[in-house]
A and B are shown apart, each in its own frame.
Chain A
Amino acid sequence: MEDFLGENIKTQEYFLNMGPQHPATHGVLRLLLKLDGEIVHNVDMDLGYIHRSIEKMCERDTYKQIVHLTDRLDYLSAHINNEAVCLLVEDALNIEVSDRIKVIRTIMSELTRLSSHALWWGVMGMDIGALTTFMYAFRERELINDIFEETCGARLTMNYNVIGGVRYDLHENFVKRVKALLAQLKQKLPEYDKLLTGNVIFRKRLEGIGYISKEDAIAYGLNGPTARGSGVSCDIRKIHPYSAYDRVDFEESIFTEGDSYARYKVRIKEMWQSVHIIEQLIDKIPEGEFRHKTKALIKLPPGDYLQRVETARGDFGVYVHSDGKKSPYRMKFRSPGFANLAALNKMAKGLKIADIVAILSTIDIVVPDIDR
């Protein structure tokens, strides 16, 4: 640029604060952009604006209470987060849950994933400037939330999973409503493609933008759909199947281009796969107990425990070091968003301001998940 302008005219780098209050950062995240005109030279991420020391609070609470705290991490995958803690404790205590519980948990997890991806799709469109997508996505998301509400009374942070099962048995309308939802999704998901995916402006905005190679993706510890867009196979549902994932047939959605558009396609495909998974299970919910009795005060035997689950954003890990007391000695959550956000600078260097917004959208961050 400077050769072109000659010696007397120079451009100057300047800083721009994106956030903590900014529509594109999806929460209280602060990005410090070093810019030359519109071109991004560096992105500094400033975290901690919504840090609530949840890991420390876990050292105070009992295991049954901890389940509720995990809601507040990635609130869009609240159900799946709960499941991680429940699975960990059940595993440690050798509680074998019934098939019914496993199937219910799987269906609910996939519904959560669908609802999270629907929100992501709507917000993705908004970030790129197509405001209508938000309303379309919420049409389907509302149905999912209605199902949640009927099942357990809550719509977002459901607290439906408890240690040893689920809180309530399924509502009698559950199967009927889920089937209606699946029918609608099959009809409306192609509409999503018509509105956004096939749009030439949209594709030009995403293709080749925010590239990250497979090697870099592994080096940065990316996970979930973000990594699968670079061709990394990392679906916990495939690698370490939990609940009923070992008995359903589904495809891990992987695209190898490594750009924003690949990450977009991964999530769209995941929505189809979720529909596919629920379809296989919804007719065959086995009979049995929906909740096993557990002790009032659960104490894990001394030792280290780890449970990984695949949330809508990726690999969510719960690590517990127990010294045999009622609460863990140390509890660590490995959140998918934190690792994914770390790669933003790598992806965004040399691009424009508008690309930062698009990349943030395809990474699909939830800030409380990053800050904990």
Chain B
Amino acid sequence: MIRLSIFTQIHEWLYSLMPASSAHILELVLIAAAYLGIFAILGLLLVWLERRVAGFFQLRLGPNRVGPIGLFQTIADALKLVSKELTGTVKADHFLYGAAPYFIITTALMAMALIPFSQEIHAFDINIGVFFIASVSSVGVVGIFLAGWASNNKYSLIGGMRTGIQMISYELSIGMVIVTMTTLAGTLQISELIEMQRNGWFIIQGHFPAILAFMIFMIAGTAESNRVPFDLVEAESELGAGFHTEYSGMNFAYFFLAEFVNLFIISSIAVVLFFGGWLAPFGITDGLHIPFIGLFWFGLKVTAIIFIFMWFRWTFPRFRIDQLLTLEWKYLLPINMVNIVVMALMVWLGLIIKF
């Protein structure tokens, strides 16, 4: 699964040390630990990036004191959150209240295992890859829903209910965009999806319907990651902090980090489905043997998509709940359905562009 030479060496070393079964289990544990690390670092980096981008849009600097260009600011913030007392409400449903953050974290982590950081660094490449990501990330809503319900706070409850409505609606759009793109690709496995784009990214191969699908994906992706203009879940001017009003310290930080990791996951899916994953644009670095070049291209593309999401966040006002539902059920869903048919016809008639 992970095919980089250093990983192969570790793999062989482990198998030489102990029996195959325990080596296998240890290997899985090590990969899980590594992904937990990536999760934390990614979350902190994205928070930092968000704050710098916000500063850029808002005529100010953003964090710039702790470490070079403020890179350690979020680490300091995380340390502060770790050291804080976990306060909660007496009247909360304690089991569910405590369980809620882990639902979100677990689902985010499960989805992240599918992310192809490069050809070599890809932990879990199953044949239903994209479908798996979509189904796992839709479980994340349960966490938010639980947090809203178990907090025994009306603001949290309204936030949680809004999440339920919003996620179920926009899950549909994401799913249909994935259907559209797999119609073009003919596979759900992520590594195959990327390999097929050597003849041109899907957004070029599928031209018109693919561009439309990408636009719908960006809208639905924003809604899925609960960001402006779809941040009704935690609409701070209406609901205080929404579903995580009653959470403090590290419990709050779990929600916060998971939100940013979800943003990364959504952007990664966009890159895999439309922009050729870790492939170099037009194969410009294919002949050269530069280490981690796939990781570089993947990171660049994901950062670009994330920047667009952040751009949304710092420019748009927020939707109202009925407008949000109108947009999905009356506009995006019909457009999406027609788009699938158009894409199917195009694939059938061979109207796709290939280099």
Contacts and interface: CB of A to CB of B under 8 A. Distances in A.
Instruction: Tell whether A pairs with B.
Output: yes
B122 interface: no
Given A352-B321, A352-B322, A353-B238, A14 B316 contact: no
Contacts of B236: 23
A345 to B, nearest CB: 18
B321 A354 contact: yes
Given A23-B240, A352-B321, A353-B158, A130 B58 contact: no
B231 interface: yes
Contact of B317 (A16, A134, A205, A352): A205
Interface in A124-140: 125-132, 134-136, 139
B60 A128 contact: no
Interface residues of B, number: 29
Interface string A165-209: 000000000000000000000000000000110010110110000
A195 B315 CA distance: 7
Contacts of A128: 237, 317-318
A362 to B, nearest CB: 13
A14 B154 contact: yes
B177 interface: no
A89 to B, nearest CB: 41
Contacts of A125: 317
Interface in B303-332: 314-323
Interface residues of A, number: 31
B154 A352 contact: no
Interface in B28-70: 54, 57-60
Contacts of A136: 58-59
A80 B60 CA distance: 32
B228 interface: yes
A143 interface: no
B229 interface: yes
Contact of A139 (B59, B238, B316): B59
B320 A355 contact: yes
A139 B229 CA distance: 24
Given A132-B58, A135-B59, A199 B317 contact: yes
A354 B235 CA distance: 9
B158 A129 contact: no
A357 interface: yes
Given A24-B237, A136-B59, A354-B238, A129 B315 contact: no
A204 B321 CA distance: 12
Contacts of B316: 129-130, 199, 201
Contacts of B231: 129
Nearest to A203: B317
A38 interface: yes
Nearest to A358: B320
B240 A22 contact: yes
Nearest to B322: A352
Interface string A108-142: 00000000000000000111111110111001000
A187 B60 CA distance: 20
Contacts of B57: 132
Contacts of B321: 38, 352, 354
A205 B237 contact: no
Given A129-B317, A199-B316, 15 more contacts: A23-B236, A126-B237, A129-B229, A129-B235, A129-B237, A131-B54, A131-B228, A132-B58, A135-B58, A135-B60, A201-B319, A204-B323, A205-B320, A205-B323, A352-B321
Interface of B: 54, 57-60, 154-155, 158, 161, 228-229, 231-232, 235-240, 314-323
9 contacts: A130-B316, A131-B58, A135-B60, A136-B58, A199-B317, A201-B316, A201-B317, A354-B238, A357-B237
